[in-house]
Structure 1
Amino acid sequence: MTTLPPLPMTRPKLTALARQKLPCSPTTIPRSQLIKEKDDIDHYLEVNFKGLSKEEVAAYRNSYMKNICVDMLRDGYHKSFTELFALMEQWDALREVARVRSLFWLQKPLEEQPDKLDYFYHYLTRAEAAERREHFEDVYNNLYALACYFNNSEDKWVRNHFYERCFKIAQQIKIDGGKKEAEAHAHMGLLHEEDGQLLEAAEHYEAFHQLTQGRIWKDETGHFLNLLACKSLLRTYRLLSDKMLENKEYKQAIKILIKASEITKEGSDKEMQGEASYYLGLAYLAVGEHETALRALNTYSQISADLDDDLSLGRAYEAIAKVLQSQGETTEAIKYLEKVVNIARNRFQSLDIVRASTLLGDIYNEKGYYNKASEYFQQAFDTTVGIMNTPLMDETKVHYGIAKAHQMMLTVNNYVESADLTSLNYLLSWKERRDDIEPDPVVGEFRGCTVEHVSRNSEHLEELRGFPNDQKNET
């Protein structure tokens, strides 16, 4: 929640006492105590304030919320009262719905939160006064202050209410060249994006981008609004493209990502341009346009290397490896995945190690090189054990178990095919132990070397020569 400075409000003594004693108090006061306090109040008023009017006595006895509303009406802020009253009704309705669903219904009623009532009174009345004078920029600033104050998970709907009001007021501000209107479009885009209304969000972000083109406007944190518009559009377009790819709307997804890539060039932000190239490359990979995908991903890897961003470079290499694997260039894909593992290990990125090692294990397992597959699956499994990630641990354990079974199958097959007494003894011994079966170090001159040695050498030769296109078994 955005922290705002304390409100410059001075309360008379009675109002201060009412804030402490009546329902706006954070603690629940028993009825007997309230009756006793009422008697004390009457005695206090009779002794010390014999000249008080009935209105002043009522103000002392009423709840803080009621006093706020009465003050608004007494001072002529009827629009502020109407808006506050509508918000209080909506607040109670939402609490009731949440109570029925047993979700966050413990949030206190608005009348028990005097600080929020103070902010409502202070900024709503100031906004109404500015609107009477047609000082729309002041109206916007006061409403935006309320939106910032209620920018938290519990009160987000209140924030959205004032975002919408800011948007309507911003249309009437003509003296700032459209800056407030641009900011209002950004807020509305965020509102729709959080609600999952991506098309509506994109429309507002596009208007935000159009209004900030060629401008050097900055927000309160010093960031250029045009750069923020480009980032917001890239994020929204990416989310839209993901949905389009899920629905197999490939042309539309690529079209919108190309548009995003063009927009990011305006921001002169290399990291943002690299991300746009990355998502575009993945989209081309999804439709099978491998060469185009490689060009986009190579652009991303080059930008990542120029920025010395190892994490992004690892992500680029992993995507390039997937493209190469789809093209059947398995040897090149393995080289890129090994680079990913090295980068991840140097940067202590355990999840990246698990993902790349699993991909390497899948490649070797698919090609029938089960020794190598087992090695990488074990690496993935050991990493998940180190980070205590149970779901990933279970998944990699299954991969590792399958590879070990394949590896064991090769050794058993070789012993069976040998059909000599020594091999049969090894098999019988293994059946009794049911642990890892080890190849016989010296079975006879007809083998010339151990099964494991032959397997290891054959794999090494194949890695040097490159994988064949068709699947090869180690048997």
Structure 2
Amino acid sequence: RIHLIKDKDATDDYLAKNIKGVSKQEAAAYRNSYKKNICIDMLRQGYHKSFSELLTLIQKWNALREAAGPGSAIWHEKSLEEQPDKLDQLYHFLTRAEAALPAGHYEEVYDNQLSLACFFNEPEDKWLSNYFYEQSFNTAQLVEIDGGKRKAQAYVNMGLINEERGHIMKAAEHFETFYQLTEGTPWKDETGCAYTSLACQHLWRIYTLLADKMLENKEHQEAIKTLIKALKMAKEGGDMKMQGEAAYCLSLAYHFSGEHETALAILKTSVEIFTSLCDSGGLGRAYAAVAKILASQGKSDEAVTYLGEFMKDAESTHLSQSLVDANILLGKVHNERGNYNEALEYFSQASEAAKALSNLPLVAEAESYCGIARAHQLMVAFNSHVAAAAADPRSLQCLLAWKQSRSDVCADPL
């Protein structure tokens, strides 16, 4: 027995000297999940805040999954703790942000939080991205060394998040602050766009959205005031396309409020801008609005004259899309006035122009208008025969013959 004990001691001594063992920590690393190892490493290095934040995010993901329930998209996704690449990013930037915190290096904290917000750019990670944008917004309020640049970035990011969530008024407040912070600065984004121009673009868009809501609620004067601000931002931003759109929207607001002459004057500005840009889509909408306003005032002849100019301009500048729009608009005006032959002629020209563009949806639209005009043409002759049928049997025979052949009805029943 003594010999056996001695042999064991000798064996243990040999193993200790010649074979490298595995420590408890190394063994645990193999046994534990990736998430647990990251958490242990955070705690070992003293990153308690990062550890707590990581666990909170994992719990939030699990709560979102449970709330969505089986059958939802998130139910079939891997959980956050099962995605090592995302855990690595969270570990890296959370710990760097926490390390910068005690020294009051808030600009570094902000940069790391913003990096995480930008990293989680997939649709399923939208909640994570928004979370870190909100965190970076709070941190940006504490940054004092960059003249307010990070604060401006944070405000525009929160404006976009609120706009996406449908909180238009709150988004407008954030964009207005962004505009104030960037006014007169040389700051640019990664694409080279000046922050001041970006602020004008966002404010033009958000003011237009606000005005749309006001128009839906029949708040015409408030909508006009808001759209005047939108036009001011468009001009200040220096984007001609934006100015044309802003003028177009403002003219419609004046039209809805009954100020037709003002609407027409602003629409002409919109037409001039879209013409200079060779913007077929904008021109089509602007001319359609002019024709609608003139028609509502009983000035159909003037509308036809104006649209005729549109068609000539489209032909001379070779704007094929605008040529289609002009013919359709002229066809509509003649159709509403009961001039079905002229309407059919313009709709047919629109169809031919659309075919030249090889634009199948546009061809289908033009052909449908042709069908409407043909039906109206037919109704004139058909009604004449019906009215004359009691006095003249030939009208009844004509109708019966038409029913058999479905060809054109004789224009004159008598």
Deviation at 1:61, TM superposition (A): 1.5
Select 1:432's aligned residue among 387, 390, 404. Answer: 404
Q: 1:267 to 1:217 in 2, by over 3 A?
A: same
Q: 1:184 to 1:368 in 2, by over 3 A?
A: same
User: In structure 2, what is the equivalent of residue 105 of structure 1?
Assistant: 75
Secondary structure, in 3 states, of the residue corresponding to 1:133? coil
CA distance in 1, matches of 2:91, 2:365: 57
CA distance in 2, matches of 1:342, 1:423: 46
User: In structure 1, what is the equivalent of residue 5 of structure 2?
Assistant: none
Bigger RCO of structures 1 and 2 (CA < 8 A, at least 6 apart): 1
Deviation at 1:340, TM superposition (A): 6.3
CA distance in 2, matches of 1:65, 1:348: 60
Tell me whether 1:278 sits opposite 2:248 in the alignment.
yes
User: In structure 1, what is the equivalent of residue 167 of structure 2?
Assistant: 197
- 1:91-136 Cα offsets, whole Å, 9 max, x none, are 1111223333523432211122111111101111111111122111
Over the aligned positions, Cα root-mean-square deviation in angstroms equals: 3.4
Tell me whether 1:95 sits opposite 2:95 in the alignment.
no
Structure 2 portions without partners, runs of 5+: 1-15
CA distance in 2, matches of 1:50, 1:65: 28
Tell me whether 1:321 sits opposite 2:303 in the alignment.
no
Deviation at 1:160, TM superposition (A): 0.7
Q: 1:311 to 1:381 in 2, by over 3 A?
A: closer
Determine if contact 1:198/1:236 at 8 Å carries over to the other structure. Answer: yes
User: In structure 1, what is the equivalent of residue 149 of structure 2?
Assistant: 179
User: In structure 2, what is the equivalent of residue 156 of structure 1?
Assistant: 126
User: In structure 1, what is the equivalent of residue 224 of structure 2?
Assistant: 254
User: In structure 1, what is the equivalent of residue 4 of structure 2?
Assistant: none
User: In structure 1, what is the equivalent of residue 379 of structure 2?
Assistant: 409
Q: 1:68 to 1:58 in 2, by over 3 A?
A: same
TM-score using structure 1 length: 0.73
Q: 1:160 to 1:326 in 2, by over 3 A?
A: same
Secondary structure, in 3 states, of the residue corresponding to 2:101? helix
Structure number with higher helix proportion: 2
Deviation at 1:50, TM superposition (A): 4.3
User: In structure 1, what is the equivalent of residue 8 of structure 2?
Assistant: none
Q: 1:297 to 1:120 in 2, by over 3 A?
A: same
Deviation at 1:306, TM superposition (A): 3.0
Tell me whether 1:291 sits opposite 2:258 in the alignment.
no
Secondary structure, in 3 states, of the residue corresponding to 2:69? helix
Q: 1:98 to 1:356 in 2, by over 3 A?
A: farther
CA distance in 1, matches of 2:47, 2:346: 72
Determine if contact 2:117/2:129 at 8 Å carries over to the other structure. Answer: yes
Deviation at 1:314, TM superposition (A): 3.0
Select 2:90's aligned residue among 120, 125, 133. Answer: 120
Deviation at 1:149, TM superposition (A): 0.6
Secondary structure, in 3 states, of the residue corresponding to 2:75? coil
Deviation at 1:79, TM superposition (A): 0.8
Q: 1:49 to 1:137 in 2, by over 3 A?
A: farther
User: In structure 1, what is the equivalent of residue 137 of structure 2?
Assistant: 167
Q: 1:411 to 1:198 in 2, by over 3 A?
A: same
CA distance in 2, matches of 1:66, 1:341: 73
CA distance in 2, matches of 1:318, 1:334: 11
CA distance in 1, matches of 2:134, 2:342: 59
Q: Describe how 1:61-460 pairs up with structure 2 within 5 A.
A: 61-100=31-70, 102-337=72-307, 339=310, 343=314, 347=319, 349=321, 353=324, 359-376=329-346, 389=361, 397=368, 401-412=371-382, 426-439=398-411
CA distance in 1, matches of 2:30, 2:396: 99
Deviation at 1:150, TM superposition (A): 0.8
Deviation at 1:157, TM superposition (A): 0.9
- 1:205-259 Cα offsets, whole Å, 9 max, x none, are 0000011111111112211001111100111111111111111111111111111
CA distance in 1, matches of 2:63, 2:38: 21
Letter in 2 for 1:167: F
Q: 1:321 to 1:104 in 2, by over 3 A?
A: farther
Determine if contact 1:245/1:253 at 8 Å carries over to the other structure. Answer: yes
Q: Which shifted more, 417-426 or 170-179?
A: 417-426
Q: 1:261 to 1:182 in 2, by over 3 A?
A: same
TM-score using structure 2 length: 0.84
Deviation at 1:334, TM superposition (A): 3.0
CA distance in 2, matches of 1:181, 1:91: 28
User: In structure 2, what is the equivalent of residue 59 of structure 1?
Assistant: 29
Structure 1 portions without partners, runs of 5+: 1-45, 448-475
% of aligned pairs identical? 53
Letter in 1 for 2:336: E
Q: Moved runs in structure 1, 4+ residues, more than 6 A? A: 379-382, 418-424
Determine if contact 1:244/1:250 at 8 Å carries over to the other structure. Answer: yes
- 1:315-356 Cα offsets, whole Å, 9 max, x none, are 322222222222222233234445369849955649x94x76
CA distance in 1, matches of 2:394, 2:239: 69
